[in-house]
Amino acid sequence: MELNKRQIKAIEWDIMQNGIYHSSLREDVLDHICCLMEQELKLTPDFKTAYLKVRKQMGSLRTLQYNTDEEVHSHKRLERFVKIPYYLCILMYFFLGTIMVCLPIVLSLAYMNVLILLGGSPLLILGYIIIFKRIDYKKLDIIPYKESFSPVKMTF
Amino acid sequence: MYICPMHSNELLKGTLKTIILNLLSENGKMYGYEITQSIKELTKGEIQITEGSLYPALHGLVAEGLLLTESVSIGKRVRKYYKLTKEGKSETKKKLNEFSDFVFVMQGLLNLKLAK
């Protein structure tokens, strides 16, 4: 038995209320519950009873969200070690650039700032690509509750 | 949490990602519920993977760059399919070899005879 739009919205609202705030994980959990519900409704035609049964067998959604965060961020920790030196490089780059432009000594090294710019830019772009583009984990998008959904009253 | 009537959960820890990667390499793309059902069927109900362990593992694999997702609209909801990346395919082979070696070593260590 296929669920209707209203029932799906009600499930979505409930799983959000129970702590699934990542939109990516929410899509997974919503589809999973809907699949379980479609099976359960064959045995228990009443939506509310079926939903309570399914939710009971699923366990804590907050724990699921917590475990997912832990799993995802354990891979992000390594990135932090790369990001910090990268940010330091950017700071040094601009610091050196400023010195070269501002100090009178620049007069004797007239094109040094241009050389720094030419030499540094490809490195910065390369660093950006490696660090920020390699892991395309758009699923980390945390959508604030009020923006993503208007709560649907749970009516079964 | 795994539910496995015959086997200790401790034995299964650390193998979930290998199981998922292998399933995806055999089936191309799968969604979460399909993965749990597939494992249940393949093991004749001996191992049942719960959502609480499946989705953290799947999201972890995505974060590692081993899996890609593809969202498909199924009627009134979205279904997310997972599939292996190029890196994921080579990692699957690596993990399977690693696991095979582990089983071989444990067999020798514990002096086990394979049943059936």
Listed ranges A76-80, A98-102, B17-21, B112-116; the one with the highest mean pLDDT: B17-21
The maximal CA–CA distance of chain A, rounded, in angstroms, is 86
User: In the β-sheet with B77-84, what is the strand arrangement from edge to edge?
Assistant: B29-31, B77-84, B67-74
Residue A72 is predicted with a pLDDT of: 84
Which residues in chain A touch residue B80, judged by CB atoms under 8 angstroms apart?
24, 27-28, 31
Burial-class residue A144 by CB neighbours within 10 Å (0-12, 13-18, 19+): exposed
The size of the A-B interface in CB pairs under 8 A is 81
pLDDT higher than threshold 90 for residue B22: yes
Under DSSP, the state recorded for A3 is P
The answer, yes or no, to whether residue A89 has pLDDT greater than 60, is yes
> How large is the ipTM?
0.85
Whether the CB of A39 is below 8 Å from some CB of chain B: the reply is: no
Q: pLDDT grade, residue B84 (50/70/90)?
A: very high
Q: Does A75 touch chain B (CB under 8 A)?
A: yes
Residues of B in contact with A60 (CB under 8 A): 52
Please check the confidence at residue A150 and state whether its pLDDT lies above 50: no
More confident residue, A129 or B88: B88
A3 touches chain B (CB under 8 A): yes
B12 band by pLDDT with thresholds 50, 70 and 90: confident
**Contact A64/A21 with Cβ under 8 angstroms?**
no
- Which of residues A147 and A53 earns the better pLDDT score? A53
- According to DSSP, the residues that pair with A114 across neighbouring strands are none
Residue B116 pLDDT: 52
Query: What does the pLDDT read at residue B26?
Result: 92
pLDDT surpassing 90 at residue A33: yes
pLDDT confidence tier of residue A141, bands split at 50, 70 and 90: very low
Token code pair at residue B17? 């990602």
Q: In whole angstroms, give the CA distance from residue A119 to residue A28.
A: 45
Which is nearest to B85 in space by CA: B108, B63, B53? Answer: B63
Which pTM was predicted? 0.67
State which residue of chain B sits closest to A27, comparing Cα positions. Answer: B78
Contact A86, A129 (CB under 8 A): no
